[in-house]
Structure formats: C-alpha cells, structure tokens
C-alpha cells in the first residue's frame, strides 16, 4: 500500500492506494456513519460494507443531477443526520462526485470520505476535491471544492470492471504521463498489455504515480486558477465529444488528447513522430483516437464548456512529452482547429 497526502484549504486528504474496503473501519472517525453507493456496487460488495444505513442511487451519467442530490439530502434528514455525521461514498466517479457534493452542502458541510471502486475514479474523480453534478447538458456545472478526509483505492475491486472501463481509466493515466512524466509514458508503452490485464504490480505503480502527479498539482493550485488547468489536457474537446456521444469519459478524453496532440504539433511544439507515438499508445490501450464527428456540434458543445472565459478558453497543449503548457486562445482559433481536423482519421 502507498499513502499520499493533499493539504487543502478546507482540510487534508489522505489517499491510500492498495488499501482494501474490508479495512475502511480503521479510517472512519468515531461519528455516526451513512453510506452512499450505487446499485451495482451494493450488489457486488454490500456484504463488506461497514455497519450503517445505506443510501442507494442509480447508475450512469444521467443520474448525476441535482434531483439525485435532493433525494440524498432528503434521506439524510429522514435518517436524523446532523453535523456529527460522516458520509462514506463507495463507488466510482459518479458516486464520489455526488457524495462529495451532497456532504459539502448538507448543513453547510459534514465530513466525508471515499472508497473508490473504478480505475477512472481512483486516478481522477475521487482525487483533488472537485465535487459536483451536471446541469442539463452542462457537465459538472454545479459543484464545490472540498477535500474528502480519505480516499481508499481498492485495486482488487477493479477485477469486476468490464474491459471498456479499464481502458477508460487508463486514458486518464496516459494524460498524467503526457503532462508531467515522460518516463511514466515509456513505462506504459512497455507494459500496456499488463495494464489491460490489471497485473497487480503494474496497476499499483500506475495508480500510485497518477495519484502522486495529481496530488502534487492540486497541492499547488487547489481551485484551478493556474497549474491545475494542465489536468484538463484533452478535456476541452473531450467534454464536447462526451456531450454528443456518451461513449465514456476516458474514451472521450482519449479522442480529445488525440486532437490536442495534433494542435500542439500545429503550434510547432511537438513532432509528427511524437503524435504518432501518443496515438499508438492510446490505440494499444483499446482507446479511440478517431475524430469522426460533426465539427459544428463539437464547436457548439465546446463553446458551452464551464471552463470558458468570455470569448476565450484556457487550452492545454504539449510542449513535449511529459510537459504541458496552458495558452489562452480565442474560440475563433479553437473553432478553426476543430473544422480542420474533424474529418481526419488517425
């Protein structure tokens, strides 16, 4: 097991990579406990949950709404919860996002923690203190910054994931390597088949390295005013794709990273050879890199992204493999690029 820490403005978070759900009791404070989970996780692992009332929500991006949060808040009131309560989210990214948001606004905030059960959540959604839900077609438009007391990344729980979900998580790991660690990218190239098979040592290494990168970035810029924007590499166009094609977050971001590498090449920062190298790795991890979407739909969706600032967007480029840079570009420039590539197959 490896433990990493984030010291946030509103509290500290300890991330335990390789710890197990069965040991969560050792991290729970001496407070009344309420568990939030989804139907699938409750069916698979409910017998291993610590004792306490369980609030079960549905599954899929469509339930990541204010209506679901209202349901949870009502249940918390019905259960007699107060500011001494502790809320534990057990599940993937959607459960963690919703749990963190509900806990942060219930009675102006109660303590919470996560047991993260998906690879995507373990390297992304459960870390860094972003908690929120979607608003209509707008992804993560409503939310707060607030750190969980702890995150347990139980790697054994990944064994029940379908292959597409493993690839979804690997996309975010590739992103971390591309923006911050060239050696990690080389490791992934050499061990991509082991990663897809969830080889225990390989996954421990990759998850720990990703958590270390994200923790370091969040520590520097918790509220995404500068350095943390680099974590959005591939996400501007990736989120636009996700809005019009619910293919999965990691798969959408994979396409977004493919686009961002081409954009970086057009800017003269990376070479065609490096673009080919990145595309080959993504495809080797069973991730899509094609951009066969209607350019006008992508432009419209990107224009409604929560990260826009007036007529500009902070776009993340690669200066080199392992080093990112954020540039403020106009939506006109972004749209010209989108029109130039959204008929191209890689």
CB atoms within 10 A of CB 135: 15
pLDDT of residue 224: 65
Q: What is the pLDDT of residues 317-345, one digit of tens each?
A: 999 999 999 999 999 999 999 999 996 44
pLDDT of residue 306: 63
70: exposed, middle or buried (C-beta count within 10 Å: 0-12, 13-18, 19+)?
exposed
Share of the chain above pLDDT 70, in %: 96
Q: Is the pTM of this model over 0.75?
A: yes
194 and 122 in a common domain? no
Q: Is residue 152 situated within a structural domain?
A: yes
77 and 9 in a common domain? yes
332 and 278 in a common domain? yes
Q: Is residue 83 situated within a structural domain?
A: yes
Bridging pattern class, strands 54-57 and 86-91: unpaired
Into how many domains does the chain fold?
2
Given 138, 160, 182, the domain boundary residue is: 160
Alpha carbon 306 to chain centroid, angstroms:
16
Q: What is the pLDDT of residues 153-183, one digit of tens each?
A: 999 999 999 999 999 999 999 999 999 999 9
pLDDT of residue 345: 44
Mean pLDDT of the chain: 93
The order of strands in the sheet holding 150-153 is 2-8, 11-17, 150-153, 111-116, 86-91, 33-38, 54-57
- Cα separation, 36 vs 314, whole angstroms: 34
Which residues span the domain enclosing 218?
163-341
For residue 274, give both structure tokens: 């490096």
Q: Determine the average pLDDT of the residues in 268-290.
A: 97
244 and 329 in a common domain? yes
- Cα separation, 73 vs 107, whole angstroms: 10
Q: Looking at 16-25, 122-131, 248-257, 302-311, which range is the least confident one?
A: 302-311
282's enclosing H/E stretch is helix 272-284
DSSP string, 151-194: EEE-GGGGGGS-HHHHHHHHHHHHHHHHHH-HHHHHHHHHTHHH
188 and 137 in a common domain? no
- Do 112 and 88 contact (CB within 8 A), yes or no? yes
| pLDDT at 304 > cutoff 80 | no
Confidence of residue 346 (pLDDT cuts 50, 70, 90): very low
| pLDDT at 138 > cutoff 80 | no
Here the CATH number for the domain that contains residue 187 is 1.20.1090.10
CB atoms within 10 A of CB 31: 13
Q: Is residue 136 situated within a structural domain?
A: yes
CB atoms within 10 A of CB 15: 27
Confidence of residue 307 (pLDDT cuts 50, 70, 90): low
Q: What is the pLDDT of residues 36-61, one digit of tens each?
A: 999 999 999 999 999 999 999 999 88
Cβ neighbors of 69 (< 8 A, separation 6 or more) are 98, 101, 102, 105, 133
Question: What letter would DSSP give residue 95?
Answer: H
- Do 123 and 4 contact (CB within 8 A), yes or no? no
Q: Is residue 283 situated within a structural domain?
A: yes
- Dihedral of the alpha carbons of 223, 229, 233, 239, in degrees to the nearest 10: 50
145 and 231 in a common domain? no
Q: What is the pLDDT of residues 183-241, one digit of tens each?
A: 999 999 999 999 999 999 999 999 999 999 999 888 886 676 678 899 999 999 999 99
- CA atoms lying within 13 Å on the CB side of residue 190: 8
Q: What's the length of the chain?
A: 346
- Cα separation, 189 vs 111, whole angstroms: 40
Output 8 or 213, whichever has higher pLDDT: 213
| pLDDT at 141 > cutoff 90 | no
Q: Is residue 346 situated within a structural domain?
A: no
Most confident of 112-121, 138-147, 309-318: 112-121
Here the CATH number for the domain that contains residue 78 is 3.40.50.1970
- Cα separation, 289 vs 237, whole angstroms: 12
Given 132, 160, 188, the domain boundary residue is: 160
Quick one: which of 65, 71, 72, 67 has its CA closest to 94?
65
180 and 152 in a common domain? no
Q: Is residue 52 situated within a structural domain?
A: yes
Q: Determine the average pLDDT of the residues in 104-112.
A: 97
Given 136, 160, 184, the domain boundary residue is: 160
49 and 79 in a common domain? yes
Residue labelled with tokens 């942060």: 104
């Amino acid at each position: 097991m490896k433990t990493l820490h984030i010291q946030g403005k509103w509290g500290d978070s300890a991330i335990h990579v390789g710890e197990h759900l069965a040991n969560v009791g050792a991290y729970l404070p001496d407070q009344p406990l309420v568990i939030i989970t989804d139907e699938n996780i409750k069916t698979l692992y409910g017998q291993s949950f610590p004792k306490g009332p369980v609030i079960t929500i549905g599954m899929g991006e469509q339930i990541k709404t204010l209506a679901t949060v209202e349901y949870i808040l009502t249940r918390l009131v019905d259960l007699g919860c107060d500011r001494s309560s502790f809320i534990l989210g057990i599940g993937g990214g959607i459960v963690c996002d919703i749990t963190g948001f509900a806990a942060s606004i219930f009675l102006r905030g109660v303590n919470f923690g996560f047991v993260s059960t998906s690879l995507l959540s373990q390297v992304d959604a459960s870390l860094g203190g972003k908690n929120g839900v979607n608003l209509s077609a707008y992804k993560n438009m409503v939310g707060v910054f607030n750190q969980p007391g702890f995150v347990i990344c139980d790697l054994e729980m990944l064994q029940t994931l379908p292959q597409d979900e493993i690839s979804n998580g690997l996309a975010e790991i590739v992103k971390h390597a591309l923006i911050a660690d060239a050696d990690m990218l080389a490791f992934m190239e050499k061990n991509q088949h082991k990663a897809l098979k969830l080889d225990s040592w390989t996954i421990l290494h990759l998850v720990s390295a990703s958590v270390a990168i994200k923790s370091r970035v969040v520590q520097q810029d918790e509220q995404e005013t500068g350095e943390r924007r680099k974590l959005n590499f591939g996400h501007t166009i990736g989120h636009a794709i996700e809005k019009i094609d619910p293919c999965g977050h990691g798969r959408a971001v994979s396409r977004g990273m493919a686009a961002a590498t081409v954009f970086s090449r057009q800017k003269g920062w990376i070479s065609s050879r490096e673009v080919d190298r990145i595309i080959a790795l993504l495809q080797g991890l069973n991730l899509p890199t094609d951009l066969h979407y209607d350019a006008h739909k992508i432009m419209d969706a990107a224009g409604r992204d929560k990260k826009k600032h007036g007529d500009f967007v902070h776009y993340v480029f690669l200066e080199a493999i392992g080093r990112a840079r954020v540039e403020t570009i106009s939506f006109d420039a972004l749209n010209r690029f989108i029109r130039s590539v959204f008929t191209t197959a890689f």
